[in-house]
Amino acid sequence: MALSVTILGSNSALPISDRYPTAQILRVSERFFLIDCGEGTQMQLRRNKINFSKINQIFLSHLHGDHVFGLMGLISTFGLLGRRKALTIHAHSDLKNLLKPHLDYFCADLPYQIVFKDLNYDEPTVIYEDKKVVVLSFPLSHRIPTCGFLIKEKAKQPNIRKEAIERYQLSVPEIVAIKNGQEFIGEDGLPVDSSELLTPAPKPCSYAFCSDTRYYRRVIPIIKEVDLLYHEATFLHELKDLAKRTSHTTAKQAATIARDANVGQLLLGHFSSRYRDLKPFEEEARSVFDNAILVNDNMTIEVKR
């Protein structure tokens, strides 16, 4: 499994009996990223048997309650579990001041450091990077400053062919050099074609998160050709005027974004509590973009290479 996303919450503002507000766990290259942290997130983490200690980076799209009300409880639980490693929270600059009195009152003896990193709401920005993964934030269009997130694996090196190792008696330094693109010279003094030595590396996986936002076509070049796109679909298209007034998106509009960005698969979520039957969302989206599915709480969607 190269990449997977586990849906902890798929509803919009109001939690209902079978759908929590927005929260997701993204697993990529052995990293665990928490995206948004609605009410009930830590209960859903337990329900899905996700190890709390593996979460070191939290990305909060915006500071509406249904995307952050689970954060304070999760911070406290991390402390009760004896966490020592720093926790980094990427969010609006207001978050630190909003949390400070709660942290001072309820978590004065927190055994780990919280590192707050401010998001940029004006332009796409790299907010996390290591040797295997890069995370980009980018502006969305909502009632308050809101970011989407693009998580991408970095390109991997090609694999050496086992038969090439045996045929040319390759040493470890030679294998490393070949994988890094260095030309290999055979015993006849001629360069060996790289296709004889290497097999292409798997294509890097990618995931984009777009919630909350009105229909916003400026995201298309940023999320183009991602494997998975999670896009809010708060309303059906018959309520497109309400969607526009509240800075949300319809299922049809989300599918249009997915189609025009040529993504691999569209995941629809952030449904309004007014809807009990969600099947029309899938039907509406598939009329525009066939590879669209509805997410449910506790669902895991995988990308395999």
Candidate list 18, 36, 66, 130, residue with the active-site label: 66
Nearest-angstrom CA–CA distance, 7 and 48: 9
Q: Is 18 designated active site?
A: no
Contacts within 8 Å (CB) and 24+ apart, 185-193: 192/168
Angle 17-56-48 from CA coordinates, rounded to 5°: 30
CA 80 distance to own-chain centroid = 27
Q: In which residue are the tokens 């991390």 written?
A: 78
Nearest-angstrom CA–CA distance, 14 and 8: 14
Nearest-angstrom CA–CA distance, 42 and 217: 33
Which tokens belong to 259?
């189609």
Burial 60-78 (b: 16+ CB within 10 A, else e): bbbbbebbbbbbbbbbbeb
Which tokens belong to 104?
């001072």
Q: Which sequence positions are flagged as catalytic?
A: 66
